[in-house]
Amino acid sequence: MKFNRVLINDDHDAIGESVAQVLMSNGITNIEKTQYCDEAYLKIKKAELDQDPFDLLITDLSFKSDYRNDNLSSGEELITKLTQDYPDLAIIVYSMKDQLQKVRFLIKNRGVNGYVCKDRKGSKELGESLNVVASGKAYLSPQVCKALQPKSNMEIDDFDIRLINLLSKGMSQEEISEDLKSKNLKPSSLSSIEKRLNRLKIQFKANNTTHLVSITKDLGLI
């Protein structure tokens, strides 16, 4: 099997162009490009209605917002919507992010078929991913291929991310506790929050909360 009709969704024009180059050098010429997630969704929808659907979407995850106020503001939202509506569409994510948690989530829970890291060898890996994904297998860049290996111990989950995010927004640990309780999310006691933060501080070698937020921001975790 080979992909015939491909949509590229990336807000950076140069990336879109280079992805198109990779596709063409793999013999794929029926290509369209979008720079917004809304636009991508509409194009896919229209293609479906026109009986000329895409077989593959290559998309970034993070998009800068501009004057248009977008409905779908991130690649992840786009993917969530697409996997509901068009489960047959193959999706390759092409992103700077290399967090295992995110990768695992997209592959396991969103049925993403490939995850290629924009990096020094991004183009080459993207080319390889086309063949792998076309043959029905999942492709992962080497940097993130351990995402699917079970349990590489020291890992952070969505709760951790949420926690650090709320801290970075200036909430106190007690306020966070209240917030979680009001949303009926499970670990919500101040004590649990403290314990979790403690683990994270050890993991990231942070001296205090401020340091932890600083480090995770640098890592692009939040």
Stretch that binds a copy of itself, among 5-13, 100-108, 128-136, 149-157 (CB under 8 A): 5-13
Residue 198 within binding range of a copy of itself, rule CB under 8 A: no
The interface mask with a copy of itself, positions 24-43, x = CB under 8 A, is -----------x--------
195 binds, among a copy of itself, DNA, none (CB under 5 to 8 A by kind): DNA
Minimum Å gap between C-beta 153 and DNA is: 11
Residues 179-198 contacting DNA, CB under 7 A: 186-192, 194-198
The bridge status of strand 5-9 relative to strand 30-34 is parallel
Residue 43: its H or E element: helix 37-49
Which CB sits closer to DNA, 69 or 182? 182
Residue 178 interface partner, choices a copy of itself, DNA, none, CB cut-off 5-8 Å depending on type: none
Number of residues that bind DNA (CB under 7 A): 18
Is there binding between residue 66 and a copy of itself (CB under 8 A)? yes
Binding mask 120-159 for DNA (x = CB under 7 A): ----------------------------------------
**139-140: strand order across its sheet:** 30-34, 5-9, 56-59, 90-95, 114-117, 139-140
**200: nearest Cα among 211, 186, 185, 189:** 211
Helix, strand and coil percent figures for the chain, each rounded to 5: 50, 15, 35
- Report angle CA 7, 90, 85 to the nearest 5 degrees: 90
Q: Are 144 and 103 in contact (CB under 8 A)?
A: yes
Which of 143, 165, 201, 203 binds DNA (CB under 7 A)? It is 201
Contact 100, 152 (CB under 8 A): yes
